[in-house]
Amino acid sequence: MPSARVVTMEGVEIGSIDLNAKIFDVPVNPTLVHQVAMAFLNAKRQGNAETKTRSEVSGSTRKPYRQKGTGNARHGSIREPQMRGGGVVFGPHKRSYRQAVTVRERRQALCCVLSDRVRSGALCVLKELALEQPKTKQFATMNSRIAPNAKKTLYVTADVDPAALLSSRNIPTVFVKRAADLNALDVLNANQVVIVENALPLIEKRLSPMLKGEAGE
């Protein structure tokens, strides 16, 4: 059965906790993880680039000059692509980059990356995250003790924690996510994952239906 070390806010290891093998010890599927990660990245793209074709640009349809006798190339309209200010050939147009990914695929990819972090020792459980008030210095000190060598650290909380969000927003290498909002891309972007202990049951509850083949999110 997989396990993770349990630490305090001071970075002291106080033991270990057993994890659900069906969620934190599954074989990694690189193809699926890549597909889901690309779907999340593409969903962030706006796709607002737009160019005008020769039928959309302003200008007369009259022939600029007669066909022969001028010594110039033959043009039929000032809106042609080769003319200055003319239309664009095969230019970009507004589009959606979204890719269809099923709920089951998203959940399975999340299980894969969580399992990979457990195997590599890059996932630990925080006994309690108790911040009385937003203090960036206090949060940064805690993070340096829990994950001293991590370039990017992801904290997973059970619910919205205003003090944690406000304390970490000025630290560019720290991210805070709710268990309900956690996805595979968040875990991939973090070198160290720190899950608050009371968030573990929520993650297991969210991912368990996928393992049973049930529908819903």
| Exposure of 191 in the CB half-sphere (CA atoms within 13 A) | 10
Q: Which domains does the chain have, with CATH numbers?
A: 3-43+101-212 (3.40.1370.10), 46-96 (no CATH)
Angle at Cα 201 formed by Cα 184 and Cα 168, nearest 5°? 60
- Cα 131 to the chain's mean position, in Å? 26
Q: What is the C-alpha separation between 217 and 206, in angstroms, rounded?
A: 7
Q: What is the C-alpha separation between 156 and 165, in angstroms, rounded?
A: 11
Mean pLDDT of 197-216: 74
Mean pLDDT of 46-55: 93
Q: What is the pLDDT of residues 99-149, one digit of tens each?
A: 999 999 999 999 999 999 999 999 999 998 888 889 999 999 999 999 988
DSSP reduced 3-state for 192: strand
Mean pLDDT of 56-66: 91
For residue 31, pLDDT over 90 is answered with: yes
For residue 84, pLDDT over 80 is answered with: yes
Q: Are strands 3-7 and 13-18 parallel, antiparallel or unpaired?
A: antiparallel
User: What integer pLDDT is reported at residue 57 of this predicted model?
Assistant: 94
The token pair that represents 84 in the structure block: 């200055």
Q: Are strands 192-196 and 123-126 parallel, antiparallel or unpaired?
A: parallel
For residue 42, pLDDT over 80 is answered with: yes
The CA–CA distances, whole Å, from 36 to 2, 59, 108, 153, 170 equal: 24, 46, 10, 21, 29
Mean pLDDT of 74-100: 93
Q: Which long-range contacts (CB under 8 A, 24 or more apart) does 142-147 make?
A: 142/9, 142/10, 142/11, 143/171, 143/174, 145/9, 145/10, 145/11, 146/7, 146/9, 146/11, 146/192, 146/194, 147/191, 147/192, 147/194
User: What integer pLDDT is reported at residue 53 of this predicted model?
Assistant: 94
For residue 95, pLDDT over 80 is answered with: yes
For residue 97, pLDDT over 90 is answered with: yes
For residue 215, pLDDT over 60 is answered with: no
For residue 217, pLDDT over 70 is answered with: no
For residue 39, pLDDT over 90 is answered with: yes
The token pair that represents 117 in the structure block: 């972090």
Give the single-character DSSP code of 131. -
For residue 214, pLDDT over 60 is answered with: no
| pLDDT band, very low/low/confident/very high, at 211 (cuts 50, 70, 90) | low
| pLDDT band, very low/low/confident/very high, at 209 (cuts 50, 70, 90) | low
pTM over 0.95: no
87, 38 contact by CB (below 8 A): no
Q: What is the C-alpha separation between 77 and 42, in angstroms, rounded?
A: 38
Q: What average pLDDT is seen over the chain? A: 90
